[in-house]
Amino acid sequence: MKLLIIEDEPALRKGMADYLSSQQYLCEVAGDYDTALEKIDLYSYDCIVLDLMLPGGNGLDLLKTLKRANKLDGVIIISARNELEDKIAGLQLGADDYLTKPFHLSELSVRISAIIRRRSLQGSNTLVFEELTLDTIAKTVSVHDAPVLLTRKEYELLMYFIVNKNRVVSKNAIAGHLWGDDMDVADNYDFIYAHIKNLRKKLVQAGAGDYLQSIYGMGYKLTAK
């Protein structure tokens, strides 16, 4: 899987590239408009991470170029501007998703994986982790081919962990993913713990291994034993 990260801020660019590379993505980076344009012209990517404000031009113009050339690359816009107009303009121009800075890398990863799944021609609508299989269209989970009944939030939670497997995912990132960034009740009570506990119980009861571990009270990690 090949990604292009277009972002002018070096630290942010490197952070995204590091995190996504460790998830078996092949990452290329571009720090300005012209470099990005060149790369888009020459190669094709499974997903492009696109910042809107770039030295040398506007990210939306890159998006237009991409669509004019009938390229099939998926695009996720990352912008510091949480403006509805930008979002609408971006999505109308054919972007697949829009993420406002500051975001969690785990969230970016989940969004990218969703875009790639949606766009993949092979129709790989399943996520597999050990004996767990997720059907991302039906939004169902099975363990050893036997279905497990999860609530929607538990399903989302499991998918989040599987996409970010072997990575520590912070509780804030989980809360942001499940309830949106504006939800701040989640900070004050450790009720995410309850969700994790329920999910873990259901999976173990269905015969799956216990792959979730708590990390120093700050988050959780899904690892194969």
Partner 1 sequence: MKLFAQYNRLNILATISIFVVGSCTFYILLRYILVKEMDNSLRSEQQEITQYVYEHHALPEINNTREQRNIYFKNTNKKEGFATLNYDGEDDAYREITFNLTVGGNPYVVVVSKPMDGIELLQHFILLVTIAMIGLILLTALLINRRILNGLWRPFYQTVSQIKSYNLSTPDIIELPATDIAEFTLLNNSLNVMMGKVQHDYEALKKFTGHAAHEMQTPLAIIRTRLDILMQRETVLQEYGQDIADIEQAVQRLSRLNHSLLLLTKVENKQFALNEDVRIDEVINDKCIEFAEILQERDIILSVSVTPFSVRFHRQLAEILIGNLLNNAMRYNFVGGSIDIQLAGGVMSIANTSLLPALQHERVFQRFYRHNDSIVEGNGLGLSIVKQICDFASFTAAYTHTDRTHIFNINFNTPPIVL
Which positions touch partner 1 (CB under 8 A)?
9, 11-12, 15-16, 18-19, 22, 53, 80-84, 100-106, 153, 167-168, 170, 172-173, 179, 181-189, 191, 194-195, 215-219
Q: Which is nearer to partner 1, 150 or 173 (CB)?
A: 173
Name, in order, each residue with C-beta under 8 angstroms of 206's C-beta and a sequence gap of 6 or more.
Answer: 143, 144, 146, 148
Residue 194: CB minimum distance to partner 1, A: 6
Smallest distance from partner 1 to CB 82, Å: 7
Q: Which residue has the tokens 């996720």?
A: 76
- For the CB of residue 131, give the shortest distance to partner 1 in the complex, in Å: 25
Please identify, using beta-carbon distances, which residue of 73 and 107 lies nearer to partner 1.
107
CA-CA-CA-CA torsion sign (118, 124, 125, 129): negative
Residue 144 beta carbon to partner 1: minimum distance, rounded to whole angstroms: 28
Q: How far is the CB of 56 from partner 1 (least distance, A)?
A: 16
Q: CB of 68: closest distance to partner 1 in angstroms? A: 27
98 versus 143: smaller Cβ distance to partner 1? 98
Cα separation of 173 and 140, whole Å? 23
Of 118, 117, 108, the closest CA to residue 176 belongs to 108
What letter would DSSP give residue 46?
S
Place of tokens 């969230």: 107
Instruction: Using the minimum distance from each CB to partner 1, give the nearer residue, 16 or 143.
Output: 16
Tokens representing residue 57 in the block:
């031009």
Q: φ, ψ for residue 31 (rounded to 5)?
A: -105, -10
Q: Residue 122: which residues within 8 A CB-CB, separation 6 or more?
A: none
Q: Which residue, 72 or 218, is less far from partner 1 as judged by CB?
A: 218
Instruction: Assess contact for 206 and 158: CB atoms under 8 A.
Output: no
Cβ distance to partner 1 smaller for residue 142 or 179: 179
